[in-house]
Amino acid sequence: MKSNNLTETYFFDFSSKNVETLLTSSAHLSGKKRVIELYFLVRDNIRYNPFAIAFEPSNLKASHVVKSEEGHCIHKATLLIALYRAIGVPARLGLARVRNHMGTSKFEKVLGTDVLNPHGFVEVFLSEKWVKCTPAFNKSLCEKLGVEPLNFNGEDDSVFQAFDRSEDGFMQYLEDHGTFSDVPVEFLAQVMQQEYPHLFDESGQFKEGLFR
């Protein structure tokens, strides 16, 4: 099962030059230290943009995320998984339905709710166990929102912030969709269409441009 989470795929295209370039800064590290370093690299150097919703497969490739220098939670998880697989560490995509109290009023207005579905995170295999980590929210964004950025020590799950600095609710886990060895594009579209039917036209196509 771990071998399925080591392979290069269309989405986890770790042999692309864009992705390979990100590996150079941590080349002096190995093992868990490098895994942690790559987590912070993706967390803070790829800007979180919840409006970057698209269903074209090319948009979800790790190499595209590097080129864009931004993305939503699934984009950033895809890139981190590609980096982990590139250094021989098994990693897979986790998806969940969450309530997100950090969403902007514009974003929530378009969605019609503060529920995000699906929300993406990473599971990485370290010390003979799967550990969860979420590189979505960059440090500068968290500081702006008054919440501590998510750290990752390679030992404990780092899924999402339950509270902000004032102890007000921040994120709430609602439903687990499971883990995936590759990016399930059709499933992503299906979940979004069920959660936000008003974002799709009569033929089931996503109404692009809603978040611009």
Sequential pLDDT tens for the chain (212 residues): 567 899 999 999 999 999 999 999 999 999 999 999 999 999 999 999 988 887 789 999 999 999 999 999 999 999 999 999 999 999 999 999 988 755 556 777 888 888 989 999 999 999 999 999 999 989 998 888 777 888 999 999 988 655 444 445 567 788 999 999 999 999 999 999 999 999 888 888 877 666 65
> How many domains, the chain?
1
Residue 208 lies in a domain: no
pLDDT, position 175: 92
The CA distance from 78 to 65, in Å, is 8
pLDDT, position 80: 98
Residue 185 lies in a domain: yes
pLDDT, position 166: 45
pLDDT, position 108: 79
Residue 106, burial from CB neighbour count under 10 angstroms (0-12, 13-18, 19+): exposed
Residue 183 lies in a domain: yes
Residue 206 lies in a domain: no
Task: Name the nearest CA neighbour of 154 among 32, 43, 39.
Answer: 32
pTM score, two decimals?
Answer: 0.91
Task: Name the nearest CA neighbour of 169 among 109, 114, 113.
Answer: 114
Domain harbouring 62, CATH code: 3.10.620
Residue 169 lies in a domain: yes
pLDDT, position 185: 94
pLDDT, position 164: 43
What's the token pair of residue 135?
């590189």
Residue 167 lies in a domain: yes
3-state DSSP: the chain helix, strand, coil percent, rounded to 5?
Answer: 40, 20, 40
> CB–CB of 42/137 below 8 Å?
no
Supply the range of the domain harboring residue 91.
2-199
